[in-house]
Amino acid sequence: MCGIVGIVGHSPVAPLILDALKRLEYRGYDSAGVATIEHGQLSRRRAEGKLVNLERRLKEEPLDGMIGIGHTRWATHGVPNETNAHPHFSDGVAIVHNGIIENFAELRDELTADGYVFTSQTDTEVVAHLVARELARGATPVEAAHNTLKRLEGAFALAIMFKGDEDMIVGARNGPPLAVGHGESEMFLGSDAIALAPFTNSITYLEDGDWAVVRRNSIAIYDMDGNKVHRKRQQSVGTSFLVDKGNHRHFMEKEIHEQPEVISHTLAHYLDFAGGKAKAFEMPFDFASIDRLSIAACGTAYLAGLISKYWFERYARLPVDIDIASEFRYREMPLSKSSGAMFVSQSGETADTLASLRYCRSGGLKIGSIVNVRESTIARESDAIFPTLAGPEIGVASTKAFTCQLSVLASLAVRAARERGAISADDERTLVRQLSEAPRYASQVLKLDQQIEKVARELAQVRHVLYLGRDTSYPLAMEGALKLKEISYIHAEGYAAGELKHGPIALIDESMPVIVIAPHDRVFEKTVSNMQEVAARGGRIILVTDQKGAKHATVKTMETIVLPDVPELIAPIVYALPIQMLAYFTAVFMGTDVDQPRNLAKSVTVE
């Protein structure tokens, strides 16, 4: 969740580190810091809050030095303040860290007993002191780093720098990603290739348990036993993008508007529109012979998976188990080799999703993953990847990645349906044509912005919102609630409309807006009955429906947002947009930090 950068360079590195940290700010933005070695001494600047504060600090008091490490933090242990900001120092050792040191309390007690004084509340500081203690005991810097790594439990990525050695950073990875970038007589370390894009696209990814001694003209990678290992150097693709909002106020707004285009690219990758078929890609498992599909993911990606359960079961007659990855990884589900396993992740780095993938792999299952970052750990550990072609998603709230995940999953469901003999060639042609229309409908929905903004103005006045939906609109109701909470901080819940009377109906009164997502589909009449129940109790309904639905809904609403009539298959893709726009405009009215909402980070590499 935090971002790490290290540079062993041949010009002052602080401005370069700051530039790389800007690209990593999506990983955390509670505080940030940079340390360099200037005139043989370790120096650092740290600042609470966003990177602009660190930038200001560096302007006031610049740092010199041709070697340095930097960090942008998402707090796990200790509040986000300057004292807890990285890099952490101990007797000539500087450290930046991403992840959690699980045995830190035990190590802290041991170090305290040895006379080490802790100045922060972080788990990271134990690592700095452990390395320093090894040095004090006579170890070389490389030995000190290696001996320390062997003591650490948990998931971590680290970069360590030593006073007196201006040609070496030690990097280590056990869980969260860490990449080495190769330059001309300079080397880089970064949490991902995006951070290193301005410097190099020649990248070596460390694997779990690897640690590396990175110097200007060499890199040596070892395993935990100290054996040298070889990791291939590769050309990173698609990382030199400009992180730019264009004419939009926020990345989220830009990403919402990019959807017609990126959905179109993604669908074209998986579907042969002219031939009316789902394309036959290399598959990790055979849809025709598996008897179940197991999907695990987190947050919005989980909700995309939940929508796909309806598609795989309805069109392909393939039963789907869908799990929240943080639950799946520990619930000891018996694995059957006749199942396929699929993971969905924008970043491809989410710790719980990755652990679930590894659990399935250990059970001998073949793995497919739907990822947006093709060079991510989840992608690299899968037997086959199904990329979403959403392009970099910078806003913390996932928007275009979600609709692209849905586009991939719908395409795969059509393919599974064909391969399992559940649909005819004509049916397949119809479904492919329907999918091909999704980008056009998405463009039309974007034009409803004024009406949606008007509704958002009302929502910005309330503290609680309920979202209801049935069938594929039920996960979408949860996605609407998730989006609203994360960026506007308004409490929201998404419920299956039929579940209302089993509890949540007690919440309904005149102050509670209820957003009902109800295309005129097979369950529309049932949803109308649930709306009646809300209306009878004075609830204020905001109905998101289509032209047919607006005509047939016999309930008084506070507002009806009317979308075009769309085929049932693509409704979740199209209806995702008004839901995102509603959350976006509400957050703008609330004046929150839309792209970097409080307490969140884009990539969640800790448990």
Sites of contact with ligand M6R (CB under 6 A): 298-301, 345-347, 350, 353, 396-398, 482, 486, 603-604
Reported as type and span, the H/E element at residue 344 is strand 339-345
Q: Nearest 5 degrees, angle CA 239-CA 242-CA 243? A: 100
Please give the DSSP secondary-structure letter assigned to residue 206: P
**By C-beta, is 43 or 353 nearer to ligand M6R?**
353
For the stretch 44-71, what's the b/e string if a residue is b when 16 or more beta carbons lie within 10 angstroms of its beta carbon? bbbbbebbebbbebbeeeebebbbbbbb
Rounded to whole angstroms, the maximal C-alpha distance in the chain is 81
Whether residue 239 contacts residue 391, with contact meaning beta carbons closer than 8 Å, is answered with no
**Least distance (Å) between residue 404 CB and ligand M6R:** 11
d(Cα 171, Cα 259) in Å, to the nearest integer? 38
The rounded distance, in Å, linking the Cα atoms of 415 and 316 is: 8
**Which residue lies nearer to ligand M6R by CB, 134 or 255?**
255
For 558, phi then psi, to 5°, come to: -75, -35
Q: What whole-number distance in Å separates Cα of residue 65 and Cα of residue 54?
A: 17
Smallest distance from the beta carbon of 373 to ligand M6R, in angstroms? 8
From the CA atom positions of the chain, what is the Rg in Å?
25
Q: How many CB atoms lie within 10 A of CB 384?
A: 15
Closest Cα partner for 270 from 418, 442, 476, 441? 418
370: which residues sit within 8 A by CB, 6+ positions away?
Answer: 301, 342, 343, 344, 345, 385, 386, 387, 388, 405, 408, 409
Q: Residue 89 or 386: which CB sits closer to ligand M6R? A: 386
SS3 570: helix
Please say which residue, 221 or 298, places its beta carbon nearer to ligand M6R.
298
Which residues neighbour 332 within 8 Å (Cβ) at sequence distance 6 or greater?
A: none
Q: 581 with 563: CB under 8 angstroms?
A: no
The catalytic residue positions are: 2, 602
Dihedral sign of CA atoms 423, 426, 432, 437 in order: negative
Token pair recorded at residue 262: 């990126």
Give the amino acid at 80.
P
CA dihedral 138, 140, 142, 147 (to 10 degrees): -10
473: tokens are 């609109």
Write down the least CB distance from residue 488 to ligand M6R, Å. 12
Structure tokens, 338:
């006749």
In angstroms, give the least distance from the CB of 300 to ligand M6R.
3
User: Closer CB to ligand M6R, residue 98 or residue 350?
Assistant: 350
Considering the complex, state which of residue 302 and residue 441 has its C-beta at the smaller distance from ligand M6R: 302
Q: How far is the CB of 349 from ligand M6R (least distance, A)?
A: 7
Compute the distance between CA of residue 23 and CA of residue 236 in angstroms, rounded to an integer.
Answer: 16
87 upstream amide cis, omega within 30 of 0: yes
Residue 303 C-beta: closest distance to ligand M6R, Å = 8
- The first and second tokens of residue 495, run together, are 């419920």
